[in-house]
Structure 1
Amino acid sequence: MNDVIAAIGSKPYTITLDGKLSTPAAIIDCVTKLTASNFELSITNGGSLSVSALSQVLSTVGSRKASLALDVLDLNPTGILAALGVAGVNTDVSIASAHTFTTAELTQVRQLTTGKRLSLEFNGRQLGVDPVNGDKLQQAVAASDMQTTITVNTAQYPPLSYLLPIIQNSSNTNLVVSYNGGQLSDTEANGNVVVRGIEVAAATTTITVTSVGDGSYSIDNYLKILSAAG
């Protein structure tokens, strides 16, 4: 490690460590050897570490520039909130399976990441309304700012009557709406759902279509999407 760092010199670089493949001790050892200001540490699969181990790692990282990727399915909401409470001011946070949070937990996530870049990914097929506090995605989008990116994948599943108002009122944050081309239908009662999304999207919204050509969605519908996108 010391030889590698010496060879890099003053060039900017990123070191990526996988929580599934690296022990907490190895990550901490790596961080303690990185004393220069020209590096960024990226920790993927952070939820594979225990809460205490992840907290120790983040304490060691301190105010260094870092990014942390977590999945609520790997580390429960309580564990994620504990880790966010320790994360330094320069740690960007990405959280998958955000749809499994309650609305109150999402509020805590935003509070604990104030001033940091935050990415939240919701599964459109598994979105549900919080029985206590109402619609969590709608409230998360409304309360977020430009430091936050909210992604909705498999966006072809939520009803248009639900999703379009969220897209239309998202200019305060970065919204990414991702449709799976292999699961889009030519017989959708409300027409081309991707075009409908593009028509109401704010400038801060990104709309993507994955798996293009995988499935029976017609070329004509794809051409309509391209035309709407301009």
Structure 2
Amino acid sequence: MSTYVLIPGAGGVAAFWQPVEDELRRRGRSSLAVDLPGDDPAAGLPEYTDAVVEAVGRAGGDAPGGLVVVAQSLGGFTAPLVCARLPVSLLVLVNAMIPLPGETPGEWWDSTGQAAAMRANDVRDGRDPDAGFDLATYFLHDMSQAEIDRLMGNNRDESEAAFGSPFTLDAWPDVPTRVITGRDDRFFPADFQRRVARERLGITPDEVPGGHLAPLSHPRELVDQLEAYAAG
């Protein structure tokens, strides 16, 4: 049986994955959500990668069915680095940043055209694209109050260190990779994610309901997709 290794996005809080872990547990699956040093001003991608590798080691290392690494948002920069160091059977990116060799997370935004894509999506949906970033509008719009309270109770800031830390692999790891996009993501709009995934990985994403924080708002549908991958 595979073990799901869950890598969070900005802030690096393992508790972000709690609804997904609960759903996996109900299905008899094993998971490990990793806490990253996101608020440490001295920690970049190497330290994030070390944190995941060390957490897997403490949990007993490889699983009989292999490790399925799942990464959300900023976690997309760490996950392939982990794949270069652990026996990973499947890599799944969820509303994730997909890096190129040598690229930093700070460079990714302009390189991919994220701001223009978000602006176009706002205009298409009737939102004021000049209103500025608002957490409720872009991250919390599809979440219940209980889910919002859970998120805010565990939230912590992301330091700038990781955004200047380059992705050091020369090529994407030789690991089967899948991409999932939340069809209602307002931060990384679905059409933007499809374009980036095709350009950078040659992959057409699968869609699940929900926005950028779909693991919180739609954990059952996300786990359905993860389990379909693992079974396939």
Task: Answer whether TM exceeds 0.5 for this pair.
Answer: no
TM class by shorter chain equals: 0.3 to 0.5
TM-score if structure 2 supplies the norm length?
0.35
Greater CA radius of gyration, 1 or 2? 1
Which is bigger in relative contact order (C-alpha 8 A, separation at least 6)?
Answer: 2
